[in-house]
Amino acid sequence: MTSISYNNNPAPAVAEVGEDVQLSLQGITKVFPGKKDWMSKLLRRTSSEFMALDEISLDIKHNKFVSIIGPSGCGKSTLLNIIAGLASPSSGALLMNGYLVEGPGPDRGMVFQNYALMPWMTVEGNIAFALETVYPTMPKVQQKRVVKENIELVGLTGAETKHPHELSGGMQQRVGIARALAINPQILLMDEPFGALDALTRGFLQEEIERIWEQQRKTVIMVTHSIEEALLLSDEIIMMTRGPGAKVDEILEIPFPRPRKREEVETHPEYNNLKLEMEQHLYRETRAVEKSRI
Ligand SMILES: Nc1ncnc2c1ncn2[C@@H]1O[C@H](COP(=O)(O)OP(=O)(O)OP(=O)(O)O)[C@@H](O)[C@H]1O
């Protein structure tokens, strides 16, 4: 792979973190303000403020595949958006290699559930556009090489000149993955990346992600609703409590050897215990949410 470097102009370090820690979340709280303006009052759509996340502290180590799982609406996407710099925390700090980060940056690449491709651009156009935006001075020859390498990496060779509407959902998400990887982020963030796909395509793409991860061993943080997906891909699974004021309940260490094959993972002696523990966690938290609404 072509190596790309960039100057992220990091802010000064504000705290000591362990050498093996790449990303440190320190007391991240997110409170969404309520709506009390005259228009909301007129439309009877006022709301009070809502604390989505309450003092989340986490250390993510280099080259780990980490999944975040929790009951629906607990704040998984909010947390990922804060890590991506697309949302700001109400309090707390986010440190990357010990340096404070306060906005989006090319050190974090994001893959969205709805692909978020430019519909008027081709496959290579979408990837080249991301590269141009992040590395405006990159020579065209290098840009072409990076685009080609990443199209190859996600198995889309031959589809370079197609537009998103000519591609299946699975192929569009491959473009989303290639685009995120092309900017050579230190951390790949994925928000329910396979959530909009049918079961078979989802299975294929999970295996593709496992293959790509083995090649690159980049740190990945993935939000998912799927226990099986988290178990297949992750080194660690962060289980969140229900909101409001969601916290980290427990972090599961996943012991399956790599490279992973679905059949081997599913027949590992620890698989059923881990799956049961996750099911019980999700059931308990979801049941509590439902009870609170009755
Ligand atoms: N802009 C906002 N203003 C007010 N509340 C918000 C806003 N965005 C999210 N929320 C609330 O914050 C909570 C967390 O939302 P978030 O989308 O992060 O949860 P999630 O765990 O990713 O959900 P899901 O599992 O359904 O994808 C929800 O209760 C949601 O309604």
- What's the pLDDT at 230? 98
ipTM (interface predicted TM): 0.97
Query: What amino acid is encoded at 197 in this protein?
Result: L
Element (H, E) at 278: helix 271-293
- What's the pLDDT at 120? 98
Closest ligand 1 atom to the C-alpha of 74? 21
Q: How far is the CA of 290 from the centre of ligand 1 (A)?
A: 16
- Nearest residue (by CA) to ligand 1, atom 16, is 75
Give the mutation target among 53, 69, 76, 114 for probing the ligand 1 site: most ligand atoms within 8 A of CB. Answer: 76
DSSP for 280-294, please give it.
HHHHHHHHHHHHHH-
Give the mutation target among 74, 112, 225 for probing the ligand 1 site: most ligand atoms within 8 A of CB. Answer: 74
- Nearest residue (by CA) to ligand 1, atom 30, is 73
- For the segment 83-101, the average pLDDT, to the nearest whole number, is 95
Query: What amino acid is encoded at 273 in this protein?
Result: N
41 Cβ contact list (under 8 Å, min separation 6): none
Share of the chain above pLDDT 90, in %: 84
288 pLDDT more than 70:
yes
- What's the pLDDT at 2? 43
Q: How far is the CA of 228 from the centre of ligand 1 (A)?
A: 23
pLDDT tens per residue, range 115-164? 999 999 999 999 999 999 999 999 999 999 999 999 999 999 999 999 99
Residue 255 phi, psi (nearest 5): -90, 0
Q: How far is the CA of 37 from the centre of ligand 1 (A)?
A: 21
- What's the pLDDT at 35? 82
With CA atoms as reference, report the closest residue to 100 among 6, 10, 30, 186. 10
Q: How far is the CA of 164 from the centre of ligand 1 (A)?
A: 28
| Cβ neighbourhood burial of 157 (10 Å; 0-12, 13-18, 19+) | exposed
Q: What letters, b where the CB count within 10 A reaches 16 and e where it falls short, cover 195-222?
A: ebbeeebbbebbebbbebbeeeebbbbb
Q: How far is the CA of 79 from the centre of ligand 1 (A)?
A: 10
User: 13 pLDDT band (50/70/90 cuts)?
Assistant: low
With CA atoms as reference, report the closest residue to 86 among 118, 109, 54, 113. 109
- For the segment 197-204, the average pLDDT, to the nearest whole number, is 93
- The CATH number of the structural domain formed by 21-107+185-293 is 3.40.50.300
Closest ligand 1 atom to the C-alpha of 225? 25
pLDDT tens per residue, range 64-76? 999 999 999 999 9
Closest ligand 1 atom to the C-alpha of 47? 4
Closest ligand 1 atom to the C-alpha of 223? 22
Q: What is the spatial distance between Cα 175 and Cα 177, in angstroms, rounded to a whole number?
A: 5
**CB distance 181 to 209 below 8 Å:** no
Q: How far is the CA of 73 from the centre of ligand 1 (A)?
A: 5
- Nearest residue (by CA) to ligand 1, atom 20, is 73
The token duo for 225 is 């609703």
In Å, how far from its chain's centre is CA 47? 29
- Nearest residue (by CA) to ligand 1, atom 12, is 52
1 pLDDT more than 80:
no
- What's the pLDDT at 190? 97
- Nearest residue (by CA) to ligand 1, atom 18, is 75
pLDDT tens per residue, range 246-264? 999 999 999 999 999 999 9
33 Cβ contact list (under 8 Å, min separation 6): 49
Q: Domain boundaries in the chain?
A: 21-107+185-293
Q: How far is the CA of 31 from the centre of ligand 1 (A)?
A: 11
Average pLDDT, the chain: 92
User: Position of tokens 């007129």?
Assistant: 42
Give the mutation target among 28, 30, 32 for probing the ligand 1 site: most ligand atoms within 8 A of CB. Answer: 32
* Pocket of ligand 1, beta carbon within 6 A: 32, 50, 52, 70, 72-78, 243
pLDDT tens per residue, range 208-225? 999 999 999 999 999 999
Q: What is the spatial distance between Cα 90 and Cα 95, in angstroms, rounded to a whole number?
A: 15
With CA atoms as reference, report the closest residue to 195 among 82, 66, 72, 60. 72
54 Cβ contact list (under 8 Å, min separation 6): 29, 244, 245, 246, 247
Q: How far is CA 168 from CA 32, 105, 178, in A?
A: 36, 29, 15
3 pLDDT more than 70:
no
pLDDT tens per residue, range 93-111? 999 999 999 999 999 999 9
- Looking at residue 139, the DSSP 8-state letter turns out to be -
- For the segment 58-62, the average pLDDT, to the nearest whole number, is 96
How many CB atoms are located within 10 Å of the residue 143 CB? 18
